[in-house]
Amino acid sequence: MSRPAVADFVDSFFTNTLFQADDKLAASVLATELASDANIVVRCLLPPLTQFPCSDYLSIKINGTSLTGSDFVNLITTQFRSAFSASIVEIKDLNIATTNDSGSTGVVGQWTAYVTKGKEDGKEIKQSATTIVKVEERDGKNVVTGLWEAQTVEES
């Protein structure tokens, strides 16, 4: 059985918003592929005294709480992308449940290992995230309507 298109959509969404260097492309993808009413929950699991991108999230008290689509876009475009670059090490599909016959919508669970690098200090941090992403069709195009994420940092 071939991989459903919804999983490729999720890969493309994250690759274009987090794991490539073009800020304009990231902003464009967030504007067109993230529903304004998306339900977003980010949970960051921090080892003691570790500094990494998630610490910015904690300082604005959204650890484990819901975000609006505009909050998430702001977080990615003005906080994360301005301070860090990131590269994918590995992506594993955990579960894919399609909701239409073509396989273009549904819910995708993935585990991703990645490395973030501070733009100022060059410090590299190994991280991973488990995500569950809901994709629906609206006005003839696919959009992310739900995103649940738990992030961890590999201790040095």
pTM: 0.84
Question: How many CB atoms lie under 10 A from the CB of residue 86?
Answer: 18
The boundaries of the domain holding residue 88 are 5-153
pLDDT digits (tens, 9 = 90+) for 4-63: 999 999 999 999 999 999 999 999 999 999 998 888 877 765 443 333 344 443 322 234
Note the pLDDT of residue 42. 74
DSSP state string for 65-112: SEE-HHHHHHIIIIIIHHHEEEEEEEEEEEEEEE-STTS-SEEEEEEE
**Count of structural domains within the chain:** 1
Question: At 48, phi and psi to the nearest 5?
Answer: -55, 135
Length reported for the chain: 156
- CATH assignment at residue 12: 3.10.450.50
pLDDT digits (tens, 9 = 90+) for 50-90: 333 444 433 222 345 567 778 888 888 888 899 999 999 99
